[in-house]
Amino acid sequence: MVEKLALVGIGKIARDQHIPAISGNPNWSLEATVSRHASVDGVASFETLEALLEERPDISTISLAIPPQPRFSYAEAALKAGKHVMLEKPPGQSLAECFALEALAREMDVSIFATWHSRFADCVPHLKSWLSSRELKRLAIVWKEDVRHWHPGQEWIWEPGGMGVFDPGINALSIMTEILPHAVHVCEAMLEYPENRATPIAAKLKFTDPNGAEMTAVFDWRQEGLQTWDIEIETTDGDARLSLGGEKLEINGELIKSGSNNEYPNLYARMSELVRNGASDMDMSPFIHVCDAYSLGRRITTSPFEY
């Protein structure tokens, strides 16, 4: 059965990822969009979610590709209208919001999905399987990119709730929490804030592993030239390196897999499965690490940032 879907927010991520993924999945039909400033050719357009919900009761699923700050009110309205809801990452601006939405989805008997797109990169399942039978000795995340390239002029990421460098950093944490066979927690953090911004531009984290493995993460939004999205792993029985954000996997120096970017098609396939089975997926473990980093982080002020 084809599910009718509305996409809320028609910005860069919607055009680059959501719309192609929806169009390529026969289980979904993009029936409408919600945006005050943009639309999609051939698709019904609404300026408000309220208007959409009133005029198109036949649409079963709402996908929210808007910044995290206003996302709670949109998701709450959609859930109360009996719609399934798909949340772009991060799923909200606070854990409390996300837990409230999860409870509301249960109450309304609909599906809700906190999407972590990097978990759905081609090589992540293979690395998870490989690591499951090995003892971890070291895990090092290095996630460095150019904010001017990936978030041009997007001021919301520098405001409270926008998460700053943790907007991409949480992608790495979503992979880490997916592949590890046990839970870890942040024990130390250093956060660099531009003197004119409310969220960090760089961060360094250390984790406590119950088995004593050395675990670190470095996030930086000031990278120019080649971008870096790597996770290096050492075990008692071999080493692995996940790069390109999860599209390339090497084990013991040998290329195991190098795939294409199928993250968002995989997300919409997962959402279709959840709706079909009457289930939800609201894993908050990546978000918990970010909140702990803010709680434990030593704040360092650095030079101003301007686009």
Q: Which single residue is written with the structure tokens 């399987």?
A: 129
Same domain as 165, residue 108: no
pLDDT digits (tens, 9 = 90+) for 251-299: 999 999 997 789 999 999 999 999 999 999 999 999 999 999 999 999 9
Contact 9, 35 (CB under 8 A): yes
Tens digits of per-residue pLDDT, 38-70?
Answer: 999 999 999 999 999 999 999 999 999 999 999
Instruction: HSE, CB side, 13 Å, CA atoms: give it for residue 147.
Output: 24
**Count of C-beta atoms within a 10 Å radius of residue 261:** 16
Domain that holds residue 296: 118-259+291-302
- Same domain, residue pair 108 and 180: no
Does an H or E element contain 22, and which? helix 19-23
Instruction: Give the three-class secondary structure for 62.
Output: strand
Longest dimension (CA), the chain: 59
Tell me: the pLDDT tens digits for 215-228?
999 999 999 999 99
Regarding whether 122 and 89 lie in a shared domain, the answer is no
Q: What letter does residue 230 receive in the DSSP assignment?
A: E
Quick one: 108 and 123 in the same domain? no
Same domain, 100 and 141: no
Query: Quick one: average pLDDT of 78-85?
Result: 98
Residue 260 has a pLDDT of 78
For residue 204, what is the domain's CATH number? 3.30.360.10
Which residues are identified as catalytic?
Answer: 89
- For residues 128 and 108, membership in a common domain is answered with no
The CB-side HSE value for 40 (13 A sphere, CA atoms) comes to 22
